[in-house]
Amino acid sequence: MKKNRILILMLILAVGAAMLLSGCGKSSEESSAPAVEETETGEPEETADESSEAETTAQTLESYLEEHEDIKEQLVNASAGQENLEIWAEENTLIYSYDLGSQLQADYDEAMAATLAQSLEESLKSTVDAFSNICSVLQDETGIEDIHTLVRYIWGDHIIYEEDFTADSAE
């Protein structure tokens, strides 16, 4: 019974973190139209806004977050107070890593891990929309295509279960 409550709590935390990140939209102060300046010959010239936009599309999510502290801070805040959750980016993948071992307070048990993996797989089916939405929002915000969200449950050095989501996962 206690294990089921822990699993339910873990899923609630995952959905909560997903909802925090889904608010990462552009602010109303940002202009959607790029600025264009003319050269002495009257030809349009690429401005800093346009060139930085072109550079952004060639970046990875990981490098984008390094350059945009406000979004990175939202990720850190999403995991604050949840000592069993870490969130970081590798290449174009946002990784949510939940440490079940700290919750279970027991040594790794292969049979128990297999049972947990089945439960986690079933439970994550209800969060597909949330994690898919995170990918969509980040793609819209960054201009980077093919962003993934990887949800990983670990117990010590063992990965109990992980699932990869994309913006198309919900379809």
Summarised one tens digit per residue, pLDDT across range 43-63 is 555 445 554 554 444 689 999
Residue 63 near residue 6, CB atoms below 8 Å: no
CB atoms within 10 A of CB 53: 13
- Where does 48-138 show beta strands of DSSP type E? 85-90, 93-99
Whether residue 114 has pLDDT greater than 80: yes
According to DSSP, residue 35 is labeled P
The pTM assigned to this predicted structure is: 0.66
Sorted by where each starts, the structural domains of the chain and their CATH numbers stand as 60-171 (3.30.300.250)
Token pair listed for 150: 């990887």
Residue 61 near residue 92, CB atoms below 8 Å: yes
Give residue 4's pLDDT band: very low, low, confident or very high (50, 70, 90): very low
- Per-residue confidence (pLDDT) for residue 75, from 0 to 100: 79
Length of the chain as a residue count: 171
Residue in 153, 90, 99, 94 with CA at minimum distance from that of residue 124: 153
